[in-house]
Structure 1
Amino acid sequence: MVSVGYTLSSEEHGPTELVDHARRAEAAGFDFVSISDHFHPWVSAQGESPFVWSTLGAIATATDEIDVGVGVTCPTIRIHPVNVAQAVATVDVMLGDRFTFGVGTGENLNEHVVGARWPEHDVRLEMLGEAMDVMRSLWTGENASHRGEHFTVENAKLFTAPDEQPTTIVSAFGPKTAEWAADHGDGLWCSGPQEEVVEVFEDAGGDGPRYTQLHGCYADSEDEAVDTVYEVWPNGSLPGELAQELPSPRHFEQAASMVERDEVAESATVTDPDPAVWIESFEEAVEAGYDHVYVHQIGPDQEAFFDFFEDELAGELG
């Protein structure tokens, strides 16, 4: 069974809008929503970046049945894992078995703001593993202390604790991290229909849900959609590790100035209003091995996408 999800893009929408979108997604028939956790948007044109844990508290009270995930949080530099553990525990208590917690090694864009050094990926992976150990010990509701290489915890106890360990899914975009995710996480979180990542995860003994995000922009015409993506989400066309390494929206804007409009039109981002193209993109992700596939509607017009989903997509997906 494949779950169909909707992206709550906290880089593009304020907190009250995001709560409204979550409520609307539930009414439209989506199985789950995933909200991003950022301190900055990628580029200034996106315009927002509310604190995800406050927004999640509101979503918990505004919805009744839809599953809710965080895709994904970096619990290592900008926020100490003790604080993330408390935030996750509170949201888990509010949402119960509707909540899924995604974690990753983060982006310099968000993590540099506290003035800490941005370490190389292997070190960030070590930090993530240690942070997950800290959080899981706190989620037991027992007293916890920890003196590790990267974090210290002294005599901490969560009095608002979850009944069970929250489902913690690890983000991976390459084979090395996918193998690590199989050892440390309760599932896999990715972007796009990356089949190799799923294969490595499963070959390494990985089990549990496999999430991936698809990007698109539904509009009256493909030209209009491409224009919107080119203006609002040019970062999606940047290559390699830039998304993890660039430190500010200004730097992303400088890099994105090299992106041509034709590159957006030819990218994996869906801009064709034909429902068959959206369905094909979704099916490609399912065939690659993902069982939780969620769609990011780029741009301000979310209501048009909800109508499109209800009228053209809902009956064909899942």
Structure 2
Amino acid sequence: MVQIGYTMMTEQAGPRELVEHVAGAEEAGFDFSVTSDHYFPWLRSQGHSPYAWSVLGAAAHATSRIPLMTYVTCPLMRYHPAVVAQKAATLQLLAEGRFRLGLGAGENLNEHVVGRGWPGADVRHEMLAEAVGIIRDLFTGGHVTHHGRHFSVDSARLWDLPGEPPPIGIAVSGDQSCALAGRLADLVIATEPKAALLDSFDRHGGTGKPRVGQLPVSYDPDRAAAVGRAHEQFRWFGGGWKVNAELPHPDSFAGATKYVTAEDVAESIPCGADPAVFVEAVRPYVDAGFTEVALVQIGGDTQPAFLRWASETLLPALRGEFR
């Protein structure tokens, strides 16, 4: 049976609210949770972007069952991989083994803030492979010294290590990232229900590993309100990673999506309160072979109502359909 997850969307709520939301998701019966890790929101209308790792630490303390995961952290520029390893090891200890480290090649939106420019995708994938190697070496204990093409580490060591290191997931969008994930990751991450991505992942060593997808949804008893909110806050989602990774600012996303209509958004994001519509939106992920699907409820102030509805109506419908 596919597992259904909940997304702490840091771009649409403040830190205290996010922790309350994931505690509510645990109570509602979600199987796992994921957390975005951004410096900017995608659009100004979302209005937030707290530091994800502080939120995750508080979430680990506020929950006891629900797994936590970054979706995803970029260990290339804003964070050095040695620091990511320390953060992930600490989170795994706080969460008592419930944490997974999702990694990706990042977006200009978040990484440009440190002033190092924005390399092309080929270089970013080289950097990601090197970063994963550093993180895994540090997870084994002992001192690590590394002088590679993109990163240097000088006698680093993690002094607080969990008994089991967090599994590492890698986000994919094409053959190059799938090859990297198949070779280096414990699980694969994607935001599109494309079987071709999972097939490529399997060809490069991913067979049998978990595969996690993500789907934005907009629950509201008033469907028109749900569509309007999805358009206001999530019309950027359809651009795909190869476009979204390159834009540097929320205003860039606003400009790039100014001709996207509410009807366009409603065609790709389930809106309203009919659980059958949401079930059918999840189906392509299940058919493609995803083992886990994290839902993103659009709108920070709508989370409590969504969680109640999910507990009473949506999760039973999904589990009844995808046993």
Fold shared by both chains (TM-score > 0.5) = yes
Pairwise CA distance, 1:175: 2.7
C-alpha distance in 2, partners of 1:272/1:175? Answer: 35
The answer to whether the 8 Å contact 2:173/2:241 transfers is: no
Report deviation, 1:192: 2.8
Q: Distance in 2 between matches of 1:136 and 1:80?
A: 14
More off after superposition, 25-34 vs 255-264: 255-264
Deviation sequence 1:51-75 (CA, Å, 0-9, x none): 1111111001100111111111000
Alignment of 1:1-318 (within 5 A): 1-207=1-207, 208-238=209-239, 241-266=242-267, 268-299=268-299, 300-318=301-319
- Flag structure 2 segments of 5+ consecutive residues without an equivalent: none
- Is the CA contact 1:33–1:68 (under 8 Å) kept in the aligned structure 2? yes
SS in 2 for 1:241: helix
CA distance in 2, matches of 1:61, 1:29: 18
Between 199-208 and 13-22, report the one with greater CA deviation.
Answer: 199-208
**Do the aligned residues in 2 keep the contact of 1:12 with 1:41 (CA within 8 Å)?**
yes
Counterpart code for 1:285: Y
**Alignment partners' CA distance in 1, 2:41 and 2:241:** 19
2: CA distance, partners of 1:239 / 1:179: 19
CA contact (8 A) 1:217 1:228 kept: yes
- Percent of aligned pairs with the same residue? 41
Deviations 1:19-65 (A, max 9, x none): 00010000000011100000110011111111111111100110011
Cα deviation 1:110-154 (Å, max 9, x = unaligned): 001011121111100000011111111111221110000000110
Q: Which amino acid aligns with 2:222?
A: S
Shift of the alpha carbon at 1:222? Answer: 2.1
Separation of aligned partners in 2, 1:37 and 1:129: 19
SS at match of 1:153: strand
Contact 1:211 1:293 (C-alpha < 8 Å) held by counterparts: yes
8 A contact 2:14–2:49 mirrored in 1? yes
CA distance in 2, matches of 1:168, 1:317: 27
Q: Which amino acid aligns with 2:309?
A: F
- Per the TM alignment, residue 287 of structure 1 is displaced from its structure 2 partner at its CA by 1.5
Letter in 2 for 1:301: T
Q: 2:182–2:201: 8 Å Cα contact kept in structure 1?
A: yes
**Which deviates more from structure 2 when the two are superposed, residues 58-67 or residues 167-176?**
167-176
- How many residue pairs get aligned? The number is 317
Q: Give the Cα–Cα distance (whole angstroms) in 2 for the partners of residues 265 and 292 of structure 1.
A: 23
Q: CA deviation at 1:239?
A: 5.5
Q: Is the 8 A contact 1:237 1:259 kept in 2?
A: no
Structure 2 Cα separation of the partners of residues 91 and 155 of structure 1: 22
CA distance in 1, matches of 2:109, 2:137: 29
How many angstroms apart in 1 are the aligned matches of 2:148 and 2:37? Answer: 26
Q: 1:82 to 1:240 in 2, by over 3 A?
A: closer
The residue type paired with residue 64 of structure 2 is D
Preserved CA contact (<8 Å) 2:275 2:317:
no
Report the 3-state secondary structure (helix = DSSP H, G, I; strand = E; otherwise coil) of the residue aligned with 1:122.
helix
Distance 1:239 1:145, change over 3 A: closer
Report the secondary structure of 2:72's partner residue: strand
Change (3 A) 1:192 1:239: closer
Q: Look up the SS of the partner of 1:97 in the other structure.
A: coil
Amino acid at match of 2:259: M
* More divergent stretch after superposition (23-32 vs 255-264): 255-264
- Aligned 8 A contact 1:6 1:33 in 2: yes
Q: List structure 1 runs of 4+ shifted beyond 4 angstroms.
A: none
**Alignment partner of 2:69: what SS?**
strand
CA contact (8 A) 2:81 2:131 kept: yes
Once residues 265 and 70 of structure 1 are traced to their aligned partners in structure 2, the CA distance between those partners, rounded to angstroms, is 27
RMSD between aligned residues: 1.3
| Distance in 2 between residues matched to 1:221 and 1:192, nearest whole Å | 27
Q: Contact between 2:221 and 2:272, CA under 8 Å: does it hold in 1?
A: no
Give the CA deviation at 1:310.
1.4
Q: Is the 8 A contact 2:89 2:165 kept in 1?
A: no
